[in-house]
Copies of this chain bind each other. A is one copy, B any other.
Amino acid sequence: MSIELKNANTFPATSINEGEGDFYRQLVESGLSLLSIENNLQKLLQEVVALALTVTKADAGSLYVIQGKEIEFTVARNLTLEERRIPMSLEHFRLPINNNTICGYVAGTGESLFIDDANNLDAHLPFRFNRSFDIKFNYTSQSMLALPLTNAAGQVVGVLQLINHRLNGLFVPFPRYLLSPVRIMARKAGMALYNAILSDNLKKSQYETVYRLSIAAEARDKSTGMHVHRVSEYARILANAMGQPEEFQELIHAAAPLHDVGKIGITDSILQKPGSLTPEEREVMKTHTTLGFSMLNDSESPLLKLGASIALTHHEKWDGTGYPHGLQGESIPLEGRLIALADVFDALVSRRCYKAAMPIDQIKALITNEKGRHFDPVLTEKFLDSWDEINRTAEQMKD
């Protein structure tokens, strides 16, 4: 399992030794309870590295996450560079899982690795130390401790690389008694990481449904383009202005592109008609609301359910004169009232194939005039309060 390493010690992933390092162990335990409740992947990664630096008295640390047959560099800290106020902006590069690199070796073998001097690695070792970071930032990596983060099934889900153990202002080798406490940390952090990765994938996967449906809708109606993305942004700004929780802001931002998804089912002769529609054609066009609703509403995903509600109600009007159901006031769900306003604003502000954009003062007057008629009056106020931010967004995201 373990190869012979001169000037570097590996420790196969066996049970944790009792004994030394009790102080560190307590430190680990107190930090761990925080980790396990963090489901936001990016925050979790940062917390794991921060905790690891404290526990191991390392000057620097990086975290890699397994992505198929590679490991992806995610977050890094470097206390020396932070003290010197040198910003590190690092690309999310990937390394193959093999013995050529230190972290690739740890990911592949599941072993923990102590290295006393990275720049004097014995020639027979399979891996070499990559000095590109040190050169770029004028830093000297010397001692290292690299260890695998594993999930409950013992699978490696990440690699934590710690650099330069600090003792009385000097960089010295990492003491071997750290192995036991960092392993406890690595196991718990690995489980938390695994959960956060799964949660993150789940979220991405739900967003993907929206994204693919939007692409499908665009394949039919090229005029859409950036429209759905702008409406998403206005929706988030408005939800925020309404004091809605961050979760709802994020959800409505993600679901907004679905408002016209029902148009996929509208025949070309109506959907792409250059002139104005006949009354009969207009009735067919109106069915994009109920059609969109029926395409999404049987989903168990809160995101798609919100999308269904938006699709159904974004043409209702506050005074009850909208469609498809002529709902009035607060019987129109908030998401519908919100997208109604965002959608109309974007149609006015952007140039569509069938009409030119309207001057901005005229748009403001029109929206103000529709307060309590087409639009929710409170929402209209918030919209006008956010006028500058919304217009900046419209400008930045124009077709």
Contact = CB atoms under 8 A, between A and B. Distances in A.
Given A152-B192, A199-B198, A295 B216 contact: yes
B267 A268 contact: yes
Interface string A176-188: 0000000000001
Contact of A304 (B212, B216, B220): B212
A195 B151 contact: yes
Interface stretch (A203-211, A227-235, A330-338, A354-362): A203-211
Contact of A268 (B36, B195, B269, B295): B269
Nearest to A263: B219
A113 interface: no
Nearest to A295: B215
Nearest to A267: B268
A300 B192 CA distance: 23
Given A198-B195, A291-B219, A264 B264 contact: yes
Contacts of A199: 198
Nearest to A191: B152
A37 interface: yes
A299 interface: yes
A219 B295 contact: yes
Nearest to A299: B208
B219 A264 contact: yes
A82 B11 CA distance: 48
Contacts of A209: 205, 208-209, 212
A238 interface: no
B152 A36 contact: yes
Interface string A287-324: 00001000110011100100000000000000000000
Interface residues of A, number: 42
Contacts of A206: 205, 208
Contacts of A175: none
Contacts of A372: none
A261 interface: yes
A231 to B, nearest CB: 19
A207 to B, nearest CB: 10
Contacts of A299: 208, 212
A199 B37 CA distance: 18
Contacts of A304: 208, 212
Contacts of A201: 202
A154 interface: yes
B267 A219 contact: no
A208 B300 CA distance: 10
Interface string A383-394: 000000000000
Contact of A37 (B153, B219, B261): B153
A332 to B, nearest CB: 25
A7 to B, nearest CB: 35
A12 B244 CA distance: 35
6 A-B pairs closest in CB distance: A219-B265, A198-B198, A205-B205, A268-B268, A37-B153, A36-B152
Given A198-B199, A212-B296, 11 more contacts: A152-B191, A194-B195, A195-B198, A208-B209, A212-B212, A212-B299, A212-B304, A216-B295, A219-B265, A219-B295, A264-B264
20 contacts: A36-B151, A39-B153, A191-B191, A194-B195, A195-B195, A195-B198, A201-B202, A202-B205, A208-B209, A212-B295, A212-B296, A212-B299, A213-B216, A215-B295, A216-B265, A216-B295, A219-B295, A220-B264, A220-B265, A268-B268
